[in-house]
Structure 1
Amino acid sequence: MFFSSNSSKMFFFFILIFSTMISISSNSWFGCWIGLEINLLSFIPLISNSNNLLSTEASLKYFLIQSIASINFLFSILLKMILLKSFEMNLFLSIMINSSMFMKMGSAPFHFWFPNIVEGLSWFNNFILMTWQKITPMIILSYFFNKNFILFNIILNVIIGALGGLNQTSLRKLMAFSSINNLGWMLFAIMIAENLWLFYLLTYSFMISIMFFTFYIMNMFHINQLFINNINSLIKINLLINFLSLGGLPPFIGFFPKWIIINFLIMNNMYMLTFIMIMMSLIILFFYIRIIYSTFLFNYLKTKWFKIFIKNSKFSLINIFSYISLLGMILSTFFFM
């Protein structure tokens, strides 16, 4: 699958994991910065592919963006070491550090690089970029954050993530905007508690892993492939379940972490933010349902020569995960009782 083509990629993959561990277990800003740099230098060889010009371009863009964010972060921590006393300076530095972390994870308003880079990556690399690569910046963000600045970013994330995905035909870009929207929810989760953020991240990773695995084994990159191909109806149902779960519709598992966050927002009288986040989730559900509607409705190309061969083990794995997603609310409610 991923490591079969190049054994050195496994080495870089493990370095990627260890670099995150270095950053999140470091007790100094400088240690966090070193972990981020190692993370960047181990992710570049994973995404660059000499046979694919798009991935080479994506790796160069990723390197440039991450370098700018790293320089900004290093500049901020050096300033913090020199000018530690004044309150105004502290406010400025918190915004600087937060901005560099937002740029690293592809959060709005520094999100412009994210959909472009996602377009040049494979599904496995996209999965790493949308899940693992967000861990370090978010942990660093939780150490030293400016509450008002993060709330402003949360609103931007949920709005841009919802509206940006409306006119997309590429599945990778669609998932990128969906990731930006979910990032808004994740940022609020980390402001409440790290445990809630971890639960949200694990749930989100679980949901997109099923979808990316399905897209990978069926070699899908655009929306029209979902309904032009003569797909097995069980795969269509699985896609429906997973899209609705990702959109955060009850009783699917994707709604559960959002439910906890909404509950917290209402308890703290943040009604306007609750309204914005729920309305944007409805827009996301609208374009997910639009895709699924087309997939179920258009099954017109019944070509005899076109067959999708999927190994039974892979297919049953997708089925099991989809049913876990379907029964997610019931399972999680029993778990948290």
Structure 2
Amino acid sequence: MYHLLNSNKMFFMFILFFSTMISISSNSWFGCWIGLEINLLSFIPLISNSNNLFSSEAALKYFLTQSIASMNFLFSILMKMILMKNFEMNYFISIMINSSLLMKMGSAPFHFWFPNISEGLSWFNNFILMTWQKITPLILLSYYLNYDYMYLIIIMNVMIGAIGGLNQTSLRKLMSFSSINNLGWMIFSILISENLWIFYFFFYSFLISIMFFLFYILNMFFIDQLFINNMNFMIKLNLFINFLSLGGLPPFVGFLPKWIIINFLMMNKFYLLTFIMVMSSLITIYFYIRIIYSSFMFNYFKMKWFKIFLKNNFMIFINLFSFISVMGMILSTYLYM
């Protein structure tokens, strides 16, 4: 795994966090751009350091896509400064700025690099890519939104995220399509309010961290590894609970932020958008259940030579988090009483 005691990695991690702070606290677009560049240059050494065969390829692909997005972003903000008065051009420039930020976070329809790169990363790097690396572009997006364009992007995100994950065998690709689907919900939450986005983002990061931690401990990268493993029943149960929570099934805590967004959508008469978002969530739950169902069915496929035992201190944490996943929703219903 990731030995954070390694001084190089500690340094680059610090710069990664620091660069996000530069971007989101900057009072000029140019400052935001500088923060994004520092962020890119600090994440690349973290990618290429891992022991994966594809890590150097992933680092190069990541660098190229992010540079293109950065150039587009810089060009757009310079155009904005020059053509400040022209209203028609402003509308076009807002779409360009939004597009470059969407490309930075791997949103549809600029998502093609995202699953490929996630395939070349370790679970820890994937966690950073799917959570922390989305903070800056999303916050910058909220400063200069083009609402008509955003509704189209939200629909594309939830649909591509749902359909793209259907025929995947790699867990990393599957989680990246799930991330694209969740990004649609996140963008809508930031249209409503920044507080709701922070709330959604916190729950998404919490659930995804448990999933990635389990996959890392069990050293799993493909769906068929979940069938073969003669796993502890508790591990399977934890995977089951957290997958369903991530999909947004009602008794679990992952449904709470989605519930608030659906509530807002219905109050403001976005009926078609609600239908599309809920249906796409059903598709993501379908492919999560497909993984879990197979894993449970092969429970009696026992091999004497292949056993997995987790250290007790890990299991305590995982069980606690899963308990929060189940109970969180029940406790949260008091908010609405």
TM-score by length of 2: 0.98
Counterpart CA distance in 2 for 1:63 and 1:119 is 15
Query: Which residue does the alignment assign to 1:171?
Result: 171
Query: How far does residue 195 in structure 1 lie from its aligned partner after superposition?
Result: 0.2
> Identity over aligned residues, as a percent?
76
In the TM superposition, what is the alpha-carbon distance from 1:335 to its structure 2 partner? 5.5
Q: Which moved more, 1:307-316 or 1:194-203?
A: 307-316
Figure out how many residues of one structure are paired with residues of the other and give that number. 337
Confirm or deny: 8 A CA contact 2:55 2:120 kept in the other structure: yes
Residues 232 and 309, structure 2, Cα contact 8 Å, conserved in 1 = no
CA change 1:50–1:218 in 2 (3 A) is closer
Structure 2: how far apart are the matches of 1:335 and 1:306?
Answer: 46
Aligned partner of 1:258 in structure 2 is: 258
Shift >6 Å, 4+ stretches: none
1:227 Cα offset (Å):
1.3
1:310 deviates by 1.3
2:59 is the counterpart of 1:30: no
User: 1:246 and 2:253 equivalent?
Assistant: no
Please, which runs of 5 or more residues in structure 2 have no aligned partner? none
| Partner residue, 1:236 | 236
Change (3 A) 1:87 1:252: same
Shift of 1:330: 1.8
| Equivalent residue runs for 1:12-161 within 5 Å | 12-49=12-49, 51-161=51-161
How many angstroms apart in 1 are the aligned matches of 2:144 and 2:95? 9
CA displacement at 1:6 relative to structure 2? 3.2
- Name 1:198's counterpart in structure 2: 198
Q: Which amino acid aligns with 1:315?
A: M
Aligned equivalents of 2:229 and 2:217: distance in 1?
14
**Residue by residue, what CA displacement relative to the aligned partner does 1:24-50 show, whole Å, maximum 9, x if unpaired?**
000000000000000000000011137
Unaligned runs of 5+ in 1: none
**Cα shift at 1:180:** 0.2
**Partner SS, residue 230 of structure 1:** coil
Contact 1:3–1:10 (Cα < 8 Å) also in 2: no
- Amino acid paired to 2:301: L
For residues 282-301 of structure 1, the aligned pairs below 5 Å read 282-301=282-301
Identify the range of structure 1 (310-319 vs 13-22) with the bigger mean alpha-carbon deviation: 310-319
The whole-number CA distance in structure 2 between the counterparts of 1:70 and 1:202 is 27
Deviation of residue 51 (structure 1)?
4.3
Please give the per-residue CA displacement for 1:43-91, whole angstroms capped at 9, x wherever unaligned.
0001113743301100100000000000000000011111100111110
Residue equivalent to 1:212: 212
8 Å CA contact 2:165–2:287 kept in 1: the answer is yes
CA distance 1:202–1:50, shift in 2 (3 Å): closer
- Counterpart position of 1:278: 278
What residue is the counterpart of 1:221 in the other structure?
221
Offset at residue 331 of structure 1 (A): 2.5
Code of the residue aligned with 1:94 in structure 2: it is S
Q: Does the C-alpha gap of structure 1 residues 102 and 3 become closer, same or farther in structure 2, counting only changes over 3 Å?
A: same
Aligned-partner Cα distance in 2 for 1:60–1:87? 38
| Letter matched to residue 229 of structure 1 | N
Counterpart CA distance in 1 for 2:331 and 2:78 is: 48
> What is residue 318 of structure 1 aligned with on the other side?
318
SS at match of 2:307: coil
Q: Classify the secondary structure of the residue corresponding to 1:110.
A: coil
